[in-house]
A and B are shown apart, each in its own frame.
Chain A
Amino acid sequence: MPATLPTEKDQLKATRPVDELDLLYRMLLIRRFEERASQAYQQQKIGGFCHLYIGQEAVAVGAVAAARDDDYIITAYRDHGHAIARGTSLNACMAELYGKTTGCSRGLGGSMHYFDRANHMYGGHAIVGGHLPLATGLAFASKYRGEDCCTLCFFGDGAINQGAFHEALNLAALWKLPVVFVCENNLFGMGTHVERAASVKELTNRAKGYDMPSMIFNGMDVRQVQEGLRTVLDAIRRRPHPYFVEARTYRYRGHSMSDPATYRTKEELEKNKEEDPIARLKSELLSEGKIDEAKFQELDREAKRLSTEAVRFAEESPEPALESLHDNTFVSGANS
């Protein structure tokens, strides 16, 4: 095991990926976790909606790897990957899907609402586009306090046609807020292709409309995402301003567990899988002599083991007590 590989015990303390092996390992963690989550969902052990991130792992992992521990991470409902990239333990993530008190949101948020304050994960937010104004607020707070931390706000291509998106971009540009809007363009807002939803051919034109600098990344290449975001974040820390990033990516599964994804062909899916972010980094590291097949298998086995362990942990964890139903509507006591 590499020295940086987090053990189950200290996973909550480990935040962002620290080296290339860790990038690979984080992506494996996300994929194996979601494969187990998918099984549990099919066994009806998980309720509600469950949107899988499989295929898009390089975006969250690469971006979070470029960030600092005190940067704010906020995302939409397809949020498992961002939490895991940020260091939320698989146990806490799985327990949340099971609605258990040991979940990262104590079983009250579910798949779409992962929160992990300790790791600066400011939530999965489930109204499309609705969290972009929140992201400008996190960035506003940094600027207000004179801190140099940045906000990374993730959302899908479906969000760019929402009013909240436009209002957030305008405010961020107007007030020069330190926020990176990371558009994970996986080509589909649920079942509607981006070309049938956005009036622009180039999504970065949305940013140009607000005089906001932008960049396009290959979202299947974790190194490119990490390096690109590092450059962007460095620039923002020197001089606060917003930035728009389009990460071109692809989700392998349907929009949610109940979506058979009949709006695209098998051929299209298979073609995109050839760009797989895990396979890509693996083959790069192999050819650079940084790992061997045995090491990869070791990492993968560990990711699978932790995912299986997470299921056991979630199943054995307690449900929230009925008496606690009203405990989280208001925070008690005034701050006076």
Chain B
Amino acid sequence: MREISYRQALNEAMQEEMQRDPNVFLVGEEVAEYNGAYKVSQGLLEKFGPSRVLDTPISEAGFAGLAIGAAMAGLRPIVEFMTFSFSLVAFDQVVNNAPNMLTMSGGQFHIPIVFRGPNGPAHQLGATHSHATEPLFANAPGLKIAAPATPRDAKGLLKTAIRDDNPVLVLESELLYNTSGMVEEPESELLIPLGKGEVKRSGTDLTLICYAQTVHMAMSAAEYMATQGISVEVLDLRSIKPLDLDLIFRSVSRTHRCVIAEQDRPFCGIGAEIAYRIQKELFDSLDAPVLRVAQEEVPMPYNEKLESAVLPSEEKILQAVTQACYL
């Protein structure tokens, strides 16, 4: 194990998979000569050359669709969206062409493709650049969605996504690119399965479900609650689809209380689905309503103070945990 950044972890994942399989290539805006808008693809052009690391024009629908077509013909593209806010320009390709092809063709054409890039609000980027797109894509059958919170998960999930024969979205986070964590040496193959969450901290009084940006807030909220005599179990979903319902049900059936901390908007958000599943499966074992901490239901304001009022935070999580514990 060694400590590397989330950015480096993603870079290693792509490098290893491109080395392993000549059909894997990377395409997107500024991924080659510029080394990536967020430097995630640093050095890949030099290593693999311009036929496998391709700068595109600013043309999301064009290059996303090109990659899907290439996948129909047997290649395994990685598409970088400079941010998933820009994936909206390619929405038809990502939700209509990629996940529908297998069904529409009666099973004749599968689409092994990865769409990756930063997702969710970063810092003062305003309404158009701050979209947490996960609920939009989670509503499209045929897409898998990973949302790693740590460098280890980022690497392991991206490698698995590249090898998956279905379209997979890897939703990264701009605010996490610089964070670091322990990751296995490159020599040991790190593959983390899609659809498997992780218990980040064991607890007995309440289950706190989180993913991506909210994991770090959740962990420090849990730490604080421990000092108040409340034992919080933190579950990092790691994948939004498939959703690790077993893990969720096992935990909540023991703790009887649950708070979901999500980075998206509340209406029809990821937490709404999870809360529904929990009440349906565990109605009798709940001691309190399932609570959610999400963004406020407004287009993202630029102003820093207002922005932080919109976003989920450790304070908001603590408040929800306290409420769910009837303290």
Residues of A within 8 A of B (CB): 72, 74, 103-109, 113, 115-117, 122-123, 125, 127, 130-142, 144, 163-164, 167-168, 170-171, 174, 327-331, 333-336
Contacts and interface: CB of A to CB of B under 8 A. Distances in A.
Contacts of B165: 331, 333-335
Given A122-B72, A336-B163, A107 B93 contact: no
A167 B59 contact: yes
B164 interface: yes
Nearest to A137: B69
B163 A134 contact: no
A163 B93 CA distance: 12
B108 A115 contact: yes
Interface of B: 25, 51, 56-57, 59, 61-75, 92-93, 96-97, 101-110, 112, 141-142, 144, 160, 163-166, 191
A330 B144 CA distance: 9
Contact of B75 (A133, A134, A141, A167): A141
A62 B213 CA distance: 56
Contacts of B142: 329-330
A137 B65 contact: yes
Given A133-B69, A138-B70, A170-B57, A328 B107 contact: yes
Contact of A105 (B104, B144, B164): B104
A168 B65 CA distance: 8
A108 B104 contact: yes
A329 to B, nearest CB: 5
Contacts of A140: 66, 69-70, 75
Given A164-B92, A170-B62, A334-B164, A109 B69 contact: no
A144 B104 contact: no
A115 B62 CA distance: 22
9 contacts: A113-B104, A113-B105, A115-B109, A123-B109, A134-B97, A135-B69, A139-B69, A328-B106, A335-B112
A130 B68 CA distance: 11
Nearest to A331: B110
Given A130-B92, A335-B165, A117 B109 contact: yes
A103 B108 CA distance: 12
Nearest to A136: B66
B59 A170 contact: yes
Q: Which 4 A-B pairs have the closest CB atoms?
A: A137-B69, A133-B65, A106-B106, A167-B62
Given A123-B105, A137-B68, 9 more contacts: A103-B106, A106-B107, A108-B103, A117-B105, A136-B69, A137-B72, A140-B69, A329-B102, A333-B165
Given A115-B104, A170-B57, A335 B163 contact: yes
A164 B61 contact: yes
Contacts of A131: 65, 97
B3 to A, nearest CB: 27
A137 B106 contact: no
A305 B66 CA distance: 41
A47 to B, nearest CB: 15
A334 B191 CA distance: 12
Contacts of B112: 335
A74 B108 CA distance: 14
Contact of B74 (A113, A139, A141, A336): A141
Contacts of B56: 171
B108 A125 contact: no
B103 A134 contact: no
A109 B92 CA distance: 17
Nearest to A134: B69
B106 A142 contact: no
Nearest to B193: A334
A125 B97 contact: yes
